[in-house]
């Protein structure tokens, strides 16, 4: 038996898997025991970028191509009565009650992790029927406003810089914070967790062409002692990245909000009035419960953006780079073969 890290809607845990004798059905039963998601509704993903596994219960486990030490992501498939737009599972599976510290943010989905060669740069789709200003939702004491940052492969770092440093030009500083934390904490951020040699990961994350994801958000939540709540536009799910409870410094008890479109991160901040100057926006708020006003507003903001189709399903989107490409997987393969790193969605 070997331990396998399992990310599921309620958090992260470790299950024991017999790689030599298990069938796919045996694995599904272990996942069911851990998550209460029936085998028929399980959507299992593995690898990077996370990809759905073809589950044929009678086949041996080796048919899935899993490796020891690999992380599995399980989400529940949409019921027939649910809206089609809610059916995609996000690479990092979590519900509005999920919290996690540094050890749980391992692949993102919401998420991107550094890649060599540089990951394909994909232009985020503009919301249809967009008005003259950013989208917003009324919240107690003001408006939760969608703060759009440049689509330049540094969107996660720019969004965090906007929130905590009030300056998106400090995105390189945010990358350095991540690199420094990985460099000094060899136990938490081991090669097994990072999925590649530590020095290679550090070198890559410092490049402006590399994307960030759950690992980076976990580190930044710890650094700023503040929960980062990331709202997925397509599903409305909120992923919570929280400072470790046993850290050397106490949790601030605050949270900030990021908006995730499937390939792009933006920030969401509170303005006292519409059209208020940026310096008057509140970027961090007290953390209450998962039903507090700011999170309710964040979900409504995601609903508004979803209605405008302002999200991208990374498993099915069409890309154009001289020839048509389907999805993020083909984009990365094409980038590896040709060195092309800029694509347009159509």
Rounded Cα–Cα distance for residues 299 and 247 (Å): 30
Cis peptide before 252 (omega within 30 of 0): no
**Which listed residue (264, 266, 281, 334) is catalytic?**
264
Please choose, from the candidates 154, 149, 150, 123, the residue with its C-alpha nearest in 3D space to the C-alpha of residue 317: 123
Phi-psi region of 253 (alpha: psi -120 to 50; beta: other; left: phi over 0): left
Is 240 an annotated catalytic residue?
Answer: no
**How are the residues of the chain apportioned to helix, strand and coil, as percentages rounded to the nearest 5?**
30, 25, 45
Is 155 an annotated catalytic residue?
Answer: yes
CB-CB contact of 114 with 182 (8 Å): no
**Which listed residue (18, 20, 152, 303) is catalytic?**
152
Cis peptide before 174 (omega within 30 of 0): no
Is 264 an annotated catalytic residue?
Answer: yes
Is 256 an annotated catalytic residue?
Answer: no
Neighbours of 329 (CB within 10 A): 14
Strand residues in the chain grouped as ranges (E): 2-8, 11-17, 42-46, 51-52, 71-76, 121-122, 136-139, 142-147, 227-232, 238-241, 254-260, 265-271, 285-286, 318-321, 323-326, 342-345
Which value, in Å, is the radius of gyration of the alpha carbons in the chain? Answer: 20
Q: Quick one: angle between helices 171-184 and 155-165, nearest 10?
A: 100
The Cα angle at residue 207 between residues 205 and 211, in degrees rounded to 5: 55
To the nearest 10°, report the CA torsion of 231, 237, 242, 245: 160
Q: Which residues are catalytic?
A: 152, 155, 264, 340
């Amino acid at each position: 038996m070997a331990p396998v890290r399992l990310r599921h809607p309620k958090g992260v845990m470790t299950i024991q898997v017999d790689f030599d004798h298990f069938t796919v059905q045996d694995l599904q039963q272990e996942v069911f025991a851990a998550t209460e998601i029936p085998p028929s509704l399980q959507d299992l993903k593995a690898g990077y970028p996370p990809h759905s596994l073809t589950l044929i219960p009678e086949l041996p486990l080796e048919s899935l191509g899993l490796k020891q030490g690999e992380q599995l992501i399980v989400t529940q498939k949409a019921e027939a009565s649910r809206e089609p737009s809610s059916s995609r599972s996000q690479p990092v599976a979590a519900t509005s009650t999920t919290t996690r510290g540094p050890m749980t943010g391992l692949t993102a989905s919401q998420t991107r992790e550094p890649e060599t060669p540089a990951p394909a740069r994909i232009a985020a789709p503009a919301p249809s029927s967009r008005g003259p200003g950013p989208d917003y939702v009324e919240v107690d004491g003001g408006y939760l406003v969608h703060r759009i940052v440049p689509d330049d492969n540094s969107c996660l770092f720019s969004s965090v810089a906007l929130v905590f440093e009030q300056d998106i030009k400090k995105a390189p500083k945010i990358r350095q914070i991540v690199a420094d934390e990985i460099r000094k904490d060899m136990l938490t951020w081991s090669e097994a967790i990072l999925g590649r040699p530590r020095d290679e990961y550090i070198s890559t994350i410092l490049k402006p062409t590399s994307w960030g994801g759950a690992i980076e958000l976990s580190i930044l939540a710890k650094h700023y002692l503040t929960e980062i709540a990331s709202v997925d536009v397509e599903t409305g799910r909120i992923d919570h990245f929280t400072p470790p409870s046993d850290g050397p410094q106490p949790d601030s008890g605050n949270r900030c909000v990021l908006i995730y479109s499937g390939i792009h991160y933006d920030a969401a901040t509170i303005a006292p009035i519409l059209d208020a100057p940026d310096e008057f926006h509140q970027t961090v708020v007290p953390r209450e419960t998962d039903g507090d006003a700011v999170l309710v507003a964040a979900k409504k903001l995601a609903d508004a953006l979803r209605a405008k189709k302002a999200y991208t399903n990374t498993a099915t989107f069409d890309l154009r780079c001289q020839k048509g490409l389907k999805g993020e997987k083909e984009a990365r393969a094409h980038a590896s073969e040709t060195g092309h790193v800029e694509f347009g969605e159509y």
